């Protein structure tokens, strides 16, 4: 899942595409690098940066959704939004997936996803509202309490999505590392990716250049690629199937290599020593 941010203030400077032509070039690059899904965002996730109204968000994302659908009819198009009115507008232009990063803050969002025939990403933010950075977040004395909370929240959210009319196979679950979590929480949840598989839904991991990687290695966003890829390999081995990434080519290669090691796909060629 390639990320294209229609913003000028993304936390990662390499993914700022406020200019539509820049976004279009990024789309072509990501598809060529192996993206199966493109996730479009019109608002920075964190509390820093400019305030964006629903109308402004629509103005940012809809022209790009229109272009992407026309340019790549078979590409899965995802919209990173917590606003039902933005998702409804995008649905008129061929949206396939609603990435509800803020865990049902707008309760109508899952109903709109069902209405427009889109799938949905169910997330976990520890109950925080949109664009809120975690401060002194706790889940209990046991380190596994955060894992239990993530599993419970994702199970409930997925059940609501299915009850709203979204087929179970179009419901993805995302433990949403960094959101409502300390670095210790995110690392604990990542270690237990396999436990999420028991819920029976495809697991999305959004790991790319996040703060838990930066704090683990003492690195700023522009230097977090290797740490991200290490986390990606671990998550893939433990059963995650969709990876939201800024660095598509590198992520594609890591995921494919893990699949070969696991025996889920054959090598492209195997002629050494034969």
Query: Are residues 130 and 83 in contact, defined by beta-carbon separation less than 8 angstroms?
Result: no
What residues does 120 pair with on adjacent strands? 98, 171
Could you confirm whether 210 is annotated as catalytic? yes
CA distances from 27 to 6, 34, 69, 120, 132 (A): 12, 11, 11, 21, 29
Q: How many other C-beta atoms are found inside a 10 Å radius of the C-beta of residue 258?
A: 19
Nearest-angstrom CA–CA distance, 45 and 26: 20
Choosing from 244, 262, 265, 272, the catalytic residue is 244
Catalytic residue among 44, 83, 170, 210: 210
Q: Which residues are catalytic?
A: 210, 244
């Amino acid at each position: 899942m390639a990320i294209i941010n229609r913003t000028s203030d993304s936390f990662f400077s390499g993914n700022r595409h406020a200019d539509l032509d820049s976004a279009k070039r990024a789309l072509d690059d990501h598809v060529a690098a192996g993206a199966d899904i493109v996730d479009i965002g019109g608002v920075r996730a964190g509390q820093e940066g400019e305030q964006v109204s629903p109308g402004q968000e629509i103005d940012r994302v809809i022209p790009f959704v229109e272009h992407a659908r026309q340019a790549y009819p078979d590409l899965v198009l995802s919209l990173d939004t917590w606003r039902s009115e933005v998702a409804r507008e995008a649905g008129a232009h061929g949206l396939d997936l609603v990435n509800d990063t803020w865990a049902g803050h707008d309760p109508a969002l899952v109903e709109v996803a069902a209405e427009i025939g889109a799938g949905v990403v169910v997330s976990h933010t520890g109950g925080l509202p949109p664009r809120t950075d975690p401060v002194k977040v706790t889940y209990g004395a046991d380190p596994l309490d955060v894992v239990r909370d993530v599993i419970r929240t994702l199970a409930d959210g997925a059940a609501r999505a299915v009850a709203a009319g979204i087929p179970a196979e179009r419901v993805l679950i995302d433990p949403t590392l960094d959101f409502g979590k300390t670095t210790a929480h995110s690392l604990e949840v990542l270690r237990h990716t396999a436990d999420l598989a028991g819920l029976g839904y495809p697991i999305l991991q959004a790991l790319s250049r996040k703060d838990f990687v930066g704090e683990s290695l003492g690195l700023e966003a522009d230097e977090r690629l290797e740490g991200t890829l290490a986390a990606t390999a671990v998550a893939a081995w433990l059963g995650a199937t969709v990876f939201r990434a800024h660095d598509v080519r590198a992520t594609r290669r890591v995921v494919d290599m893990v699949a070969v090691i696991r025996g889920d796909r054959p090598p492209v060629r195997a002629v050494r020593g034969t």
